[in-house]
A and B are shown apart, each in its own frame.
Chain A
Amino acid sequence: MKTKALLTATIIGLSALLVWLSAFWEPITPKRVTEVPTHNRLAASGQAQGGDFTLQGPNGPVSLKDFRGKVVLLYFGYTFCPDVCPTSLSLMARALSALTPAEVERVQGIFVSVDPERDTVKILKAYAPFFHPRIVGITGTPEQVATVARLYGASYAKQPPNAEGLYTVDHSSVTYVIDTEGKVNARLPHASPVRQIVEAVRPLLAAKTGG
């Protein structure tokens, strides 16, 4: 009789655990930051207006502030990404190649990895400049990366791993065009053609900078 009571208690306990698990437990912390509504010109107000940040680069910290006086092309992605990120970075690279040497001196590409668990600074050092020497790969702790993504309205969400434990990351694929004073000027949607990137950059280079 005692065993039966014990068994019942165990079953109840396990059921409760199961209910709790299915309701609250998440195998992977969701990194979804904010849903990106649309990727067009910057809204007049509201969040996700961009701003300064510092993350780790190949030779130590990299801050957006370091590039005052330059136009910055900012992209959030991850190196495991087989298609979307290489496409975006290739387009960015081709846009950089389309600029004159004097122009390209004043443009900086930044690739922020939203997968800091796998993308070490060392991996990013090999990855980003492969597309173009003026693209730097940076990342930070998951919290730091989340803060920067939130600042820009970039979203990403790690997907459940496959049988081999490999996972992909859903992410917004937007190239943020940041002017010489560190303000977001345009958000270019995924696969924006080279010409469009160049046309977004050139006027900002021509504009007088306030220092």
Chain B
Amino acid sequence: MKILFRHLAILLAAAASLPAFAGDTDITIADPYVRMVPPGTPTTGAFMVLKNGSNADRKLVKADSPVARSVELHNHINDNGVMKMRQVAEVDIKAKGETALKPGSYHVMLIDLRQTLKEGDSVPMTLTFDDGSTRKIDVPVKMPQAMMQMDGDHGKMKH
């Protein structure tokens, strides 16, 4: 009986540690922000740098946030001056590498916002990777002007 309990305890402990293990992604997130848009604008984008500390290639496969009715991963294709925004299934993050979600490129598109996002607001977001690991982040909302300063004018990428 005692042995059974011990086994059960081990099993329970293992089960409890599973989600934690799954959540322990090797991907770290740097400089996340959501672009503040004029009141009433139904969509906006979230940007960040995904850093992969592991020795395996990873993919960002999903993003969720309660502030929008739907959240999609998107990319932009600059087709001879015509900006084409397309949904993508995944965003690659190479082993020991990083991928920037940035204006004019990859971004998390927040569609059909449930509320107006104001400067200083924090948007909870859960990122899911192809190995099943997740990361919960709080993404600050930033004014475009301040944000553009941060993005820099080509080359001036220092924050």
Q: Is the CB of A193 within 8 A of B147?
A: no
| Contact partners of B80 in chain A: CB under 8 A | 35-38
User: Nearest chain A CB to B121's CB is how many angstroms away?
Assistant: 16
In the assembled complex, the Cα of A93 lies from the Cα of B148 at a distance in Å of: 10
Residue in contact with B35 in the complex, picked from A37, A83, A97, A195, CB distance below 8 Å:
A83
User: Nearest chain A CB to B46's CB is how many angstroms away?
Assistant: 9
User: Nearest chain B CB to A25's CB is how many angstroms away?
Assistant: 23
Q: Is the CB of B112 within 8 A of A166?
A: yes
Q: Is the CB of A190 within 8 A of B83?
A: yes
Residue in contact with B144 in the complex, picked from A131, A155, A170, CB distance below 8 Å:
A131
Say whether A168 faces chain B, with CB atoms less than 8 Å apart: yes
Q: Is the CB of A172 within 8 A of B83?
A: yes
Say whether B159 faces chain A, with CB atoms less than 8 Å apart: no
| Contact partners of B107 in chain A: CB under 8 A | 82-83
| Contact partners of B110 in chain A: CB under 8 A | 82
| Contact partners of B149 in chain A: CB under 8 A | 94
Q: List 8 A-B contacts (CB under 8 A).
A: A39-B81, A80-B42, A82-B85, A82-B109, A90-B145, A127-B40, A131-B144, A164-B70
In the assembled complex, the Cα of A112 lies from the Cα of B79 at a distance in Å of: 21
Q: Is the CB of A86 within 8 A of B111?
A: no
In the assembled complex, the Cα of A193 lies from the Cα of B104 at a distance in Å of: 13
Interface string of A142-166 (1 = CB under 8 A from B): 0000000000000100000010101
Q: Is the CB of A82 within 8 A of B44?
A: yes
Contact A126/B39 with A131-B144, A190-B78 known, Cβ cut-off 8 Å: yes
| Contact partners of A193 in chain B: CB under 8 A | 153-154
Say whether B4 faces chain A, with CB atoms less than 8 Å apart: no
Q: Is the CB of A36 within 8 A of B42?
A: no
Q: Is the CB of B78 within 8 A of A79?
A: no
Interface bin, chain B: 35 or more
Per DSSP, chain B at the interface is: strand
Q: Is the CB of A91 within 8 A of B70?
A: no
Say whether A48 faces chain B, with CB atoms less than 8 Å apart: no
Q: Which of A153-211 contact B (CB under 8 A)?
A: 155, 162, 164, 166, 168, 170-174, 189-191, 193-195
Residue in contact with B85 in the complex, picked from A37, A83, A86, A172, CB distance below 8 Å:
A83
Interface string of B71-87 (1 = CB under 8 A from A): 00010101111111101
In the assembled complex, the Cα of A162 lies from the Cα of B145 at a distance in Å of: 31
User: Nearest chain A CB to B95's CB is how many angstroms away?
Assistant: 28
Q: Is the CB of A127 within 8 A of B83?
A: no
Q: Is the CB of B76 within 8 A of A84?
A: yes
Which residue on A lies nearest to B109, using beta carbons? A82
Which residue on B lies nearest to A80, using beta carbons? B43
Say whether B38 faces chain A, with CB atoms less than 8 Å apart: yes
Contact A189/B81 with A83-B107, A93-B144 known, Cβ cut-off 8 Å: yes
Say whether A121 faces chain B, with CB atoms less than 8 Å apart: no
Q: Is the CB of A191 within 8 A of B42?
A: no
Contact A83/B104 with A90-B147, A166-B111, A171-B83 known, Cβ cut-off 8 Å: yes
In the assembled complex, the Cα of A123 lies from the Cα of B38 at a distance in Å of: 10
| Contact partners of B144 in chain A: CB under 8 A | 86-87, 89-90, 93, 131
| Contact partners of B35 in chain A: CB under 8 A | 82-83, 86
Say whether B37 faces chain A, with CB atoms less than 8 Å apart: yes
Which residue on A lies nearest to B44, using beta carbons? A82
Q: Is the CB of B38 within 8 A of A172?
A: no
Say whether B53 faces chain A, with CB atoms less than 8 Å apart: no
